[in-house]
Amino acid sequence: MGPMSTSSLDPAVAARLKRSADGLVPAIAQQYDTGEVLMLGWMDDEALHRTLTTGRCTYWSRSRQEYWVKGDTSGHYQHVKSVALDCDADTVLVKVDQVGAACHTGARTCFDADVLLSDAD
Amino acid sequence: MGPMSTSSLDPAVAARLKRSADGLVPAIAQQYDTGEVLMLGWMDDEALHRTLTTGRCTYWSRSRQEYWVKGDTSGHYQHVKSVALDCDADTVLVKVDQVGAACHTGARTCFDADVLLSDAD
């Protein structure tokens, strides 16, 4: 498996999904109750299929070139609550219940540490 | 101007920004008070610079190949409240105050219309 290969994703969804040249779409993970944006990962058709059907958010790791069930190593799973495509079908929003820290640094979200601007009016 | 060209972005930020092959990073726009994820756009260095310095969220339009101040056509500006990079410096999160609808369809967010899965346990 891997980007651009055959997947079990619902053909109706696959038909409207607009992938980048590398066969991937960005996937935003958001904590379902607090609204925190936790991280952004990448999905191919099969990662989206697994996210929709296994209840655990699954990405395609561009660095490792393999599927990556968030939490399989760290225990910090993302339990899937809802999944939506955007109006162009080129981005996925997954609302999840994040176990522990979303970021590999131990921070709650991947956007906590490198703030460029805050409290602008 | 355009992706990969010279920008006025702070050199310290430019040095750690990790761009895709096309010179862009995904930028998530989130309503600062409700937490709604509004849309995902793309930024090059100059779009990020303009977002940080003008107070209005500015993207690089991949389809039109030009800078795009969200709201210049529709009036639906995104007033910038905060900007952060993620832990890998390859994604931007912009918290904004969205005027009107974020989506060109008139929906409040770009993720309202195409729900693939909801209310999973």
User: Count of A–B CB contacts within 8 Å?
Assistant: 110
A50-60 residue pLDDT tens: 999 999 999 99
ipTM above 0.90, yes or no: yes
Dihedral Cα B44, B45, B48, B54, nearest 10 deg: -120
Structure-block tokens of residue A44: 């191919």
Phi, psi of A55 (to 5 degrees): 80, 0
Q: What is the pLDDT along chain B (121 residues), one digit of tens a residue?
A: 556 567 999 999 999 999 998 999 999 999 999 999 999 999 999 999 999 999 999 999 999 999 999 999 999 999 999 999 999 999 999 999 999 999 999 999 999 999 999 987 6
Domain boundaries, chain B: 11-98
The residue ranges of DSSP E strands in B2-110, in sequence order, are: 25-31, 37-43, 58-61, 66-69, 78-85, 92-98
d(CA B28, CA B41): 7
Whether A120 sits inside 8 A of B81 (CB atoms) is yes
Whether A40 sits inside 8 A of B86 (CB atoms) is yes
Helix H or strand E segment including B45: helix B45-54
| Residue with tokens 């904004």, as numbered in its chain | B96
Structure-block tokens of residue B117: 């899965």
* Fold classification of B11-98 (topology level): Ubiquitin-like (UB roll) (3.10.20)
A26-77 residue pLDDT tens: 999 999 999 999 999 999 999 999 999 999 999 999 999 999 999 999 999 9
Q: Which residues of B lie closer than 8 Å to A, measured between beta carbons?
A: 13, 16, 20, 26, 28, 30, 34-37, 39-40, 52, 55, 80-89, 91, 93, 103-105, 107, 110-120
